[in-house]
Structure 1
Amino acid sequence: MTFSTLQLIILVTAGAGLISILTAASLSLTLLAKIVNNMVSLSVGILLATTFLHSLPEAFELAGAQVHYLFATLLGGLLGFFLLEKIALLRHSHHHEGDGHGHHHGHDAEEAGNSGWMILVGDSIHNFVDGVLIAAAFMVDIQVGIFTAVAIIAHEIPQEIGDFIILLNAGFSRLRALCYNALSGLMAVIGGVLAYYFLEKANQAMPYLLVIASSSFIYIAVSDLIPQMHRRPHWQESLRQIVLIAMGVGIVVFLTDHHH
């Protein structure tokens, strides 16, 4: 049975997303679930390293001379995610203000859940870009497409582990975290199909999409995760956090060096 280029793009983008999400879930929900608080530090390392060592350099290379537009997009993305979180917090506090009741069961999880929703937005954009990259590679050569998909799976696994840990930390159940991550993974298929039909326009938009996804990762790491880590100021805990951040960076550096 032979597949058309479009069918191959759909199969491979769906498969790449599924493999990376299921691998990350199997690790996050078994080995790492019991130490999720410590693993927040690993997530910070992974998110920041993915952003500064992979996504942003790739965006700047693609954009060429339009670097100042990308920095404006990065600033807009950071402010945009700040506003999204602010609206969510204001809406939530207004809903409970003066209602004569204490905070309902699960209130804290809802408050923490804002970072979970934002990581899903950023991850969806990132997956869309991955789909565009896979489609572009397949339209050059099938073998190039397969190698590109393998490289994307390799760098997606640590990022998806980071995402799962953030979702669990934000109060999502294991099943809910898995389902939402799977839906986010479908954006790769959408990106692949759209790139097949509108490759030139998709390529033009790609640097900006990468920067917006990067802005969400930076915002979540700096605004939500690092303040959580500062609430545990003991020196043993601080040392553990530094080691885990370094491990997260190391994972991304290793996979980036071996698959680019």
Structure 2
Amino acid sequence: MEFLSNISSDKLKEICTEKLGVETVDVLSHHRNHARPEAFLVWTLGLTFVTVISLSAAVGILFMKYMSKKLFDRFITFFVAVGVGTLSGSSVFHLLPQAFHLVQEFDANADHSYLWKSFFAVAGIYLFFIADKLIKVILEARKRCKDYELKRFSGNNSESGVNNRSRQSSDALMAYVKDENAKDSLVNNTDRNEAKESLHQTHSICAHDHDMVYNNGDSVIATVAWMIIFGDGLHNFIDGVSIGASFSESILSGLSVSVAVMCEEFPHELGDVAILVSAGMTLRQALVYNVLSALTCYLGFFIGALFGNLNDEFASYIFAFAGGMFLYISIGCMMPEMKVAMENALEISVKKAIKVLICQICGIFLGLTIM
């Protein structure tokens, strides 16, 4: 007994490693490192973040009042990219590893090689995304250079031809050009209309995309309100469960998931308010309905925090589900939005497309760095 009282914890660990095997030490350290955070800290931090997330639309509206349209577009572009980075980073670096019990946060000797593997997985996604966009920008720039050279060459030829013709031939040529311009204008308008129709037809159904269909006699405001409450309400409920379970597991996990949800919700909640206002609501009504749909996040948080404390396996399944959901929202929903923003900018000019791409890259990098 005297020998055991004088032995240090490091020496005991060394003896256990030699005599009992590494697996015993790993089990002991696993249980030691998974001490639950204090309930007061879990509920205080969790409810604070849920409240901030629920009020993100109202805060965004205050910023919108002092922003020009150009600045607001860049702001939304940047925050969508930040949301993509934080959601995918939280999923790959925190949620999925915790679901598979790979995380030992407070053990200095733990194996953290999964982080490097997670990093390379995320790098593969975004390097190919950036490469794809750069190729499109380069091809579009080359195409426009060729078109410019062709127009300049055609302009020089037509200029010399007109100088060698008689006045009657010149008048006939001008009449022909006007007629062709009229046809081109008609074709362009037709193409524009077809593009708009195509845009409506290919409108994707995602976590925050809302297809509004109205029938005669329906209340526009009531239809949109129920759509927002049930659609976003369900999504916010799952976010709340994820936040509650994460905080019950560890403060670091809770902060990671909360920041990811906040960066993802902020631009999309602004979009929801814009939908409600465009449907005929006043700004005050739109904010009220938006806050109502966000209340389900509190319910989800209560369930996640309570059950996460009761059962470790429950938390693991919640982490796995939330990790999959975060990956889908970031890669399946928000990245296509980034693609559309990039293509719209490319239609205007290559310079604008490059600015949008740089903004998106910075946003993704910031989101991943936060995680």
TM norm. shorter chain > 0.5: yes
Which structure 2 residues correspond to residues 34-113 of structure 1 after superposition, within 5 A? 34=67, 35=69, 36-64=72-100, 89=211, 96=215
Give the 3 Å change call, closer, same or farther, for CA 220–123 of structure 1 in structure 2. farther
CA distance in 2 between partners of 1:244 and 1:185 (Å)? 33
Q: What is the 5 A alignment of 1:50-199?
A: 50-64=86-100, 89=211, 96=215, 121-137=234-250, 145=251, 149-150=254-255, 152-171=257-276, 173-199=286-312
Q: What is the deviation of 1:27?
A: 4.4
In the TM superposition, what is the alpha-carbon distance from 1:194 to its structure 2 partner? 1.8
From the superposition, tell whether residues 248 and 9 of structure 1 become closer, same or farther in structure 2 (CA, over 3 Å). same
Instruction: Show the counterpart of 1:18.
Output: 51
Q: What letter corresponds to residue 325 of structure 2 in structure 1? A: I
Equivalent position of 1:140 in the other structure = none
Deviation at 1:50, TM superposition (A): 2.1
1:221-250 Cα deviation digits (max 9, x unpaired): 145564366345212542342233234223
CA distance in 2, matches of 1:227, 1:248: 16
Query: What is the deviation of 1:127?
Result: 3.1
Q: What SS class does the counterpart of residue 16 from structure 1 fall into?
A: helix
Match of 1:29 in 2: 61
Stretch deviating more after TM superposition (8-17 or 150-159):
150-159
Aligned partners of 1:133, 1:245: CA distance in 2, in Å? 28
Distance apart, 1:131 and its partner CA: 1.0
CA separation of 1:228/1:253 partners in 2, compared to 1, >3 Å: closer, same or farther? closer
What does residue 366 of structure 2 align with?
A: 251
The structure having more radius of gyration, on CA atoms, is 2
Letter in 1 for 2:340: P
TM-score by length of 2: 0.46
Stretches of structure 2 that go unaligned for 5 or more consecutive residues are 1-36, 102-203, 278-285
Q: Aligned partners of 1:188 and 1:125: how far apart in 2?
A: 9
Q: Is 2:84–2:367's contact at 8 Å kept on the other side of the alignment?
A: no
Distance 1:225 1:255 in 2: 20
1:210 paired to 2:323: yes
Structure with greater helix share of residues: 1
Secondary structure of residue in 1 paired with 2:314? helix
* Greater relative CO (CA pairs within 8 A, separation 6+): 1
Letter in 2 for 1:163: H
| Superposed displacement of residue 56, structure 1 | 3.1
Identity of aligned residues (%): 8
Counterpart-to-counterpart distance in 1, 2:230 and 2:330: 12
Task: State the aligned residue count.
Answer: 216
Aligned to 1:246, the other structure's residue is in SS state: helix
Q: Following the alignment from structure 1 to structure 2, what is the Cα–Cα distance between the partners of residues 224 and 115?
A: 20
TM-score (norm 1): 0.61
Q: Residues 166 and 42 from structure 1, CA distance in 2 versus in 1: closer, same or farther, beyond 3 angstroms?
A: farther
What root-mean-square deviation, in Å, do the aligned CA atoms of Structure 1 and Structure 2 show?
4.2
- In structure 2, the CA distance between the partners of 1:240 and 1:187, relative to structure 1 (3 Å rule), is farther
Cα distance, 1:192 vs structure 2:
0.7
Q: Which amino acid aligns with 1:234?
A: I
**Contact conserved, 1:122 with 1:217, CA < 8 A, in 2?**
no
Contact kept? 2:230, 2:293, Cα under 8 Å: no
Gaps of 5+ in 1: 66-81, 138-144
Instruction: State the SS of the aligned residue for 2:290.
Output: helix
